[in-house]
Chain A
Amino acid sequence: MVGSPVLLIAIPLLAAFLIPLLGMVWKESVRIIPGLVLAYLTFLSASLYIEVINTDTIVEIIAGWRPPWGINLVFSPLTGFLTTIMTFMGFIVWLYSYRFKRNVEFEAAKKYFIFLMLLVAGSVGIVITGDIFNQFVFIEIVGISAYALTAFYTGRDSAEAAFKYLIMGSLSASALLIAIIIIYSQLGTLNMAQIAANIDNMNPYYRIIAMIFFIIGIGVEAEIFPLNGWAPDAYTEAPGPVGGAFSGIVAKAGIYAMVRMMFTLFDIEGPMKILIVIGLITLIVAETSALRQEKLKRMLAYSSIGQMGLVLVAFGMGTKAGVFAALFLMLNHAITKPMLFLSGSFLTFNTTEKYIKQITGMAKKMPVVSIIFVLGALAITGFPPFSGFWSKMAFLSAAADENLLFIMATILIISIFEVVYYFRVINRLFFFEYDDKISIEPHKPGFNGMIALFVLAFIVLMIGFYPSSVTGFIDLAADDLMNTHQYIDKVLQLGQTIIQ
């Protein structure tokens, strides 16, 4: 074993604190350390994941207090799967932003990397923790890093976006606290497994109230309608790679928290109407808003929100096939959306407003980046033979199994709109003339950015042509989520434990 799950949180936290100190000594270390840390985290997460798949879930106990009194970390097929994706995407984001503000502004770069570390640490923490208050803490950590990163450019718009995010985040924190308080007062424990075991004993009235506040609290982070007003602004104003990090890492953590709560904590079986309804509304409003956007990043942000809505609908179906489809969608989205944000960031590099009009004809000047963007667009809209097709198919198959024809039809009609706005951008890139008056200067992407994009593109193609490479993992993760009892047993009876 290369390490234990707690390192996944501890090391980035430590690095975040150390970066300013080491930065005083050697400026470059500010950039290198995150890279090393993220690389190590990816490696650690992957190897733990492989071990978990082959043997058994890892439950790690912190500070010697056994559950249900102490905090424990759970590294299971599901959480391991998500963690690996998140750390890997963190690495990619680091790789892309390695040269960020190099030789220009040291302070800003330092802060950027610190918060990136915190963001990753917090997101991983949300996923692998087994204690709801611990989760709350990590949500707050993610929140603070996210606010800071949103306001990164210290302009008026960025500040406004961050402030909105802050308001919504604070409201969500309050709601979460209320939920946690209710649960704690009724059940006397903060441990997820314990709560799951005893949830039936809870007064149904309180149970529903708690669930509502949980949904609202986590919903802000998971970008559900109508709590996602902050999201378009935040994604637009944050730097490009941060947009990638948000969509690839943070949103996933939020969705995870939501479904962990519904599936495990409250042990709901069968279709969850609330998730389906909210997911559908999120999807419809987001995709139709995306159609009218003129700024590239804002359009991508709406698209991202819409995809999260779709994922929620898939989870809401409550069947194993639905969960499988949802996880597959999450995986593809985690790879493809950052790819779109990163390549979009390259394309709109030399402008501040980032209008789509300004990248007219860019394909002539930046062919490789444009092709990668097109690849991302084709993949997200679900064209074969790219990755998005298989996940969409899995979703439709799951919906067909449950005879949810109306949902299928709605999703497909919304997909038509998705195709329209993505293809509009593709048209602008490739099939319009490059006009000096409208278009901006092309930007020569750095070597590191290109490698990041190539890696992502390769994964998209690989999943597209050979989906079986990932479906095995997703299957196991889906099993894990569906099986609440297994979770409870593992934690409480201590499956495979490490004692700190």
Chain B
Amino acid sequence: MESVGYYILGVIVTIIVAFTVGLTYMGLNRKITARVQNRKGPPFYQNFIDAYKLASKETAIHHGFMQHAGPAFLMVASIMSVLIIPVLNDGKWFPNLNFNGDLIFLLYIMVFGPLGMALGAGQTGNPNSAIGVTRGLSQMVGFEIPWVMALVALMMQYQTTSLVDLMTVQQTTGWLMFSSPFAFLAAVLAMLGMFRYSPFDIVGAPTELASGPASENGGKYLFTMMSSGSIFAFAKLTLYVDLFMGGADNLIELLVKTFTIYLIPMLYGMVSPRYRTEQAIRYFWGWPLFFGFLALVHAMVF
């Protein structure tokens, strides 16, 4: 690792890129969904405008320390994950923090974000946010299992827990999407839960009631949550690209690949009704779990 200054520069650039790409994708999501539903929809850069608006609003009230700490935890999680996931192959991007065994670290950090946010939401005292949190956490237990199974299958097959190693392996054996298909399937199905689009959006339950961790949080809090969400989205997409599609050698390739993956939850969500929480959990422990098992078997046998 070079000097600290270079490192900080890399961090900032990475965050900006993640932020931009994430917000753009979310904007594109709104645009495409609108078109599918036969309406015009907001411009794809709408989210930037929203972010600016939120950041400039003044918040009149707050509910205490945790309400500030919650979004801070969330940002920590998203930024750390984006710093650990290699953005481009072979360190062509800025050096970041990956290390041997960072897949496990990544798993925990990704979970920590929503948990911290949940704590922050808890202090507001809004019962709807508490309901949203319980739904969110329960659902998380649901999709984490097939997700972990997929990862374990990969780790088992290539005897490593390092993200970089898995990327390197793909140089020789081709995209893992094809050589570990079951793992890919399980991971994609789990991804549906991660993104919290339909049918797993009961956490925020938009248009149902003002529930979910975002209630009671406006202005700067909402801004932080939104940016964190976008950075996280970018991080997750990059992770999938790195794991299954052989990483990217330059930014354009990265954008193309991540958008391809992003289409999956987006399109699936457009046409799905919402699951209740226990239905969601049972869903995850059905086919995705089965694919996870197949992935494990595949990894053990080959």
Q: Do A and B have CB atoms closer than 8 angstroms in the complex?
A: no
Q: Hey, which bits of chain A sit against chain B, CB under 8 A?
A: none
